[in-house]
Amino acid sequence: MANTNNIVALLILLFFFSTSLADLPPTDCNGTPDPKFCQSNLATTGLTSDIHDLGRVSIRTSLSNARKFMALVDKYLARKKNLSPSAVQALIDCQFLSALSMDYLQSTTSLVSANNLPNNEADDILTRLSATLTNYQTCWEGLQTASSAWSIRNGIFMPLSNGTKLSSLSLSLFRRGWVHRKKKGKFEFLGGGGGGGGGSRKLLFSDDIPLDHLPLKMSIGNVKLFESLTGRRLLQAYPDSINVRAMVVVDPSGDGNFTTINDAVAAAPNNTDISGGYFLIYIVPGVYEEYVTIDKNKKNVMMIGSGINQTIITGNRSVVDGSTTFNSSTMAVVGERFVAVNITIRNTAGAIKHQAVAVRNGADLSTFYNCSIEGYQDTLYTHSMRQFYRNCDIYGTVDFIFGNAAVVLQNCNLYARLPMQGQFNAITAQGRTDPNQNTGTSIHSCTIKATPDLASSTTTKTYLGRPWKEYSRTVYMQSYMDSLIDPAGWRDWNGTFALSTLYYAEYDNAGPGSNTSSRVNWPGYNVIDATDANNFTVSNFIGGDGWLPVTKAPYQEA
């Protein structure tokens, strides 16, 4: 009799569960990447067919899952004495990324209470949800490569998988319910293809204004100290001056405010608003053997060096020597609206140490201007959020610009180096995992050349990129490509993986490596026109018109 009652109860439960699934309009879940997962998670909420209600519940559920996942990671770290060093490091990365995701989701839950949002707010949320999904993916990648981590992976796989799927679901529902941006007008340039068109704004930093003439509007700060230390006058002659809330000087000799860069960063106030200005750190010439971190609470930090190869930050962490790729960076940036100017950042581990990051950037609305970023494999990790690089030199070998940010590189020099024997070069390895993410790499008006050691090699092939993830997206437009680029242009990652789901495109490039007649014939490869290229400009792809002017860095809008 007891068994009969259990069977009846089970049938009743299945009836109500199947009824709730049927009550959920299938069209709301059919447009998501995983309709079955969507139904199983939202069917029991009793919601109507309103896409906004479903999106709000999905985001709240994602936040709840992120908290549970963070607690699980903390639990494993509490027992770290039983784990390998690489497994512990991977968990620390997961802990860090989980905290970021919780912040992104927490800020998003309050904003989606309205059914209609201004375009800039919708873009902000879309960026945070895209980054949350990337954070889960990065956590899993670290655990996969960590040694002796099978016990962790077995216990963490389902929560991590659920978090990934919930993030994808939230992203899909938000995009359908709140994002209604249309394509802007036709793509037009003042200059022709290759290496620097016209139309740049002349703002604070430009090619014809040297650092000696750096204009600053000081609201707080020791101007006299700055002048006496550097011999530079802070001229007020330029109308487009930048607002600075405070300024400090880093000088290892002891004549400045701090002797290390990290100490200067630690002195920056927490969670400031851009309306109050930048916390400016001036770094005198020298070689700084530091691993510099700009944490999430250190917002609106501007770091100005004395010039490329004058102010040098250097490190040598690598995967071979025990770091995760994520934690191998010489400089790691998370704080919103970070700006770096006139600095060289290096990872000197060399090609033999495989993944070794010079800069890892996950800072929203961040800018690198007139910097040199130097390494071999995985030099620049454009991890997440919205980023801009202007007049930078970037050196590397395998996948040396990689990650899943929404990023524009403009008027930069991309230098491919000689890799290890038997390797080929891939300039980019973009990591979009979901078609709803607003991410991708746009390379505009740049110059792609070989360093002398590579130029002398007759066997090493160099490609524009390869698909690290399923929805990899990279666009080259109006750039100069030297003869180092293989005629096929692009390289597969693993057989046919991602060849029909990726989006690779070229527009109006110049130079001997730009001929598209022998390019790959993948379904996802495109030679595009000006209208399509317009989607990948500073203005449209990263919304630069809304946040770059305050940096005073020059940029070409369209």
The CA distances from residue 206 to 152, 247, 345, in Å, are 50, 21, 21
Among 54, 33, 30, CA closest to 44: 54
Residue 399 among the catalytic residues: yes
The CA distances from residue 28 to 45, 52, 288, 433, in Å, are 14, 10, 54, 21
Question: Kind and range of the H or E element at 69?
Answer: helix 51-78
Distance between CA atoms of residues 440 and 291, nearest Å: 27
- Is residue 348 within 8 Å of residue 384, measured between CB atoms? no
Give residue 72's region: left, alpha or beta (phi > 0; psi -120 to 50). Answer: alpha
Q: Encoding tokens for residue 435?
A: 């078609």
Distance between CA atoms of residues 115 and 228, nearest Å: 55
Distance between CA atoms of residues 282 and 225, nearest Å: 11
How do strand 447-450 and strand 413-416 relate by DSSP bridges? parallel
Angle at 73 between CA 84 and CA 467, to 5 degrees: 80
- Is residue 93 within 8 Å of residue 405, measured between CB atoms? no
Active site residue: 399, 434, 486, 508, which one? 399
Helix (H, G, I), strand (E, B) or coil at 352: helix
The CA distances from residue 84 to 93, 136, 147, 322, in Å, are 14, 21, 7, 10
**DSSP β-bridge partners for residue 415:** 395, 449
Distance between CA atoms of residues 174 and 60, nearest Å: 12
Among 253, 326, 267, 422, CA closest to 98: 326
Helix (H, G, I), strand (E, B) or coil at 495: coil
What is the edge-to-edge ordering of all strands in the sheet holding 393-396? 286-288, 311-315, 344-347, 372-374, 393-396, 413-416, 447-450, 480-481
Distance between CA atoms of residues 325 and 235, nearest Å: 42
Hey, which residues are catalytic here?
Answer: 399
